[in-house]
Structure 1
Amino acid sequence: MACRWMWWRSCAKICSNRCWTTRAPARWRRSSSLRVAVAGSGIAGLASAARLARAGHDVTIFERFDAPRPVGAGLLLQPSGLQALEGLDIRDQVEARGAHVSRLIGRNMRGRAVLDLRYRDARRDDYGVGIHRASLFDLLLTAAREAGAQFRTGCDVASIAGIDTDAPRLSLAGGEETDGFDLVLVCDGAHSRLRRIVCSQARERVFPWGAFWAIRPDPDGAREGELEQVYDGCRIMIGLLPVGDNPADAEGRPGVSVFWSVRADAREAVLAAGDEAFRDGFARYWPRAARAVGDAGLDEFAYAAYQDAIVPRWRRGRVMLLGDAAHAMSPQLGQGANLALCDAAALAQAFAGEARVLHAMKSAERARRPATTYYSLMSRALTPVFQSSSKLLGWARDIVFNLSGRLPGLRHWMGWTLTGRGRMPW
């Protein structure tokens, strides 16, 4: 009996030693000790880095600029995006810096409402927040740093080596190759150079239209209001969005984001016509927008070119696309930032509840697909209705949207889409 007991004790000791000394394959390790690389410090990259670092992961952000910086002007955060910010404890700060937006109103040249959506049409206490991209960027950057994320600036990620292994590595433009990571997040934006490395079947389409935009002092000094737009058929779309704090304004005046939709092939003609013709265009179509533009010249406006991307699969091995790199789309529905914030939230939630890295990645993509597919399809359908050369589409839009806004069921659905809660029924 004693011999049998000694035999079992010896076996137990051997098994114990083997379990202690043998490291489980990387794909089965718990996600609580991940080394994470994030390529890009946009909204998706910073939000993901902050969330994963807060969860105890070792996160390094690789940014090609010498210092992380925002790209873009004003943006509209929807209720879905604001809710995602609660997980980073910065929603109150975002709302304090931004401007509350209660309504989206678009009128034609006759002053008739084409599109009139109020957030309360979806939920009584809903609202959006217009904010300068630099303000949101600053808050996300601070959140990522305070969570412990590390930054490597001046590092242009050119490719990904060992993408199908358990330890993918980043190949930098200068020839350096990093050590392996447990997880690589590709967050390099709508014009991602790494997208096709992750998914060779990705299809990208550059839109023929873009927009001139700038942040200007709000002539009304408003810290709340509406996203207003004026349309002349589908050829002209001018918009004003209050954004609250304007970090670039020395006098501390609230800002308004001004944008004018222009065909990409007409951009050079606009520049050649000069500042006075540009300002006269605003005055001709919308005097209030002209007040916001003031004496600004074209050198104060940037031109944004838009494209969308259909990506059948966001994952390859331990590398995953997030934000615009995964689902770039026209800004017609104003959902880019919100989708990126929700991507980051879904990713963090997936890793909090799943020990296996590949399973967590799959779970995160599955959770986000219904929403991103919905907004991608809606964006593709609506873009030519607001940005094209078709007279017929403009005429039909004015009639259909006006009638739809009078039907309670359709009005609620349109409001629900505006809030960022739309999703495919699967």
Structure 2
Amino acid sequence: MNPSRSMVRRLARLRAVPAPAVDAAIAVVFLALVVVDRTQEPVDGGAAMVTLSVVLTLMIAGGLVVRRSFPLAGFVAGTVGLSVEALAGISSAVSPYANLIGIYSLGLYATRRRALLGPPMAVVGTAMYFAGNRDAAAFEGVGVLFSWIATWAVGYSNARRREEQERARRATRQQAIAEEQIRVARELHDVVGHTVNLLIVQAGAARLLLDTNPTKARELLAGMEQTGRDSLADLDQALGNLRPAPHPVPGLAQIPDLVRRLTSARVRVVLSLDPALQLPHTLDLSAYRIVQEGLTNVLKHAAPCAATVDVHRDGDAVVIEIADDGPGLPEQHVPGRGLLGIAERVSLCGGVLEQGRGPGRGFTLRAVLPLP
């Protein structure tokens, strides 16, 4: 077996161990080291001092057990235990190292306000500890204080770095949610807006033909029913419905059906579509939505009229052009969500959009989408 792979697996297993179990194990190791230390240097002063030593050792060990869940309380317990040991003259060589773990945990796991109590508490703890160790030189106290504060600073800086990373992850998630909401809103507008406009035109045509040409009126009503069914399928796809959609995600292959539905609504549409043209999934959907929204604008502003749809490849780009011979948009027309949605789609694809009144009459929309 590869040694590096084996090491990675062992580290993964260690990370899977619950944090409370790790802290309990650290406390057990600390107790074992204290027992070894007390065996080599027994506590003087009789049973009372032995009892006090046991209580203080358990207090420090308890601080290690709760160092993540209650870091401030854990560090206070360790500092008090260590200081009382020194003042009572029963110091253990192991206890100061346990308190290093405690002050690191205070900087890492406590809230920002509580973590800032670490340095002043370290000063007080150091003073109390060395007050009971009169034989220690002054520089030893300075060195111990420096090591405590440096250890706290490492934990504190790691905690702030974690906060920054979490804020960045949260901002990324919020941005992804916002982008998805915009995408869904755009899809819904494209689907619902197109369908409603088509149904309005079909219903108006059916009403006019109901008395003079009932057969044609029934055909238009049947077309309205099919339009509604197709719209529901598109809504399922736009919303990411979990059940299988009855139709594939729309693309160039569905443009002829789109044109057929519009033609049945008394809008004469001539389609020119390169049958050999194949687009990536995202670009395929965008091309379909651009044609759909362009024809929806024809329904809203130009019908009844004739329109042309031309989709072809030009070098390293696909060109989509929709033109009609209707009255065109007024000079002071403010673009609605449809044209703005087309502009957004084209921009996301890195393309170029041209739109405006045609020569004399009508309206022309031309989108150029680069191929990847």
TM range (shorter): under 0.3
Q: Which of the two has higher C-alpha Rg? A: 2
Flag the structure with more relative contact order, 1 or 2, with Cα contacts below 8 A and sequence separation at least 6.
1
Higher strand share: 1
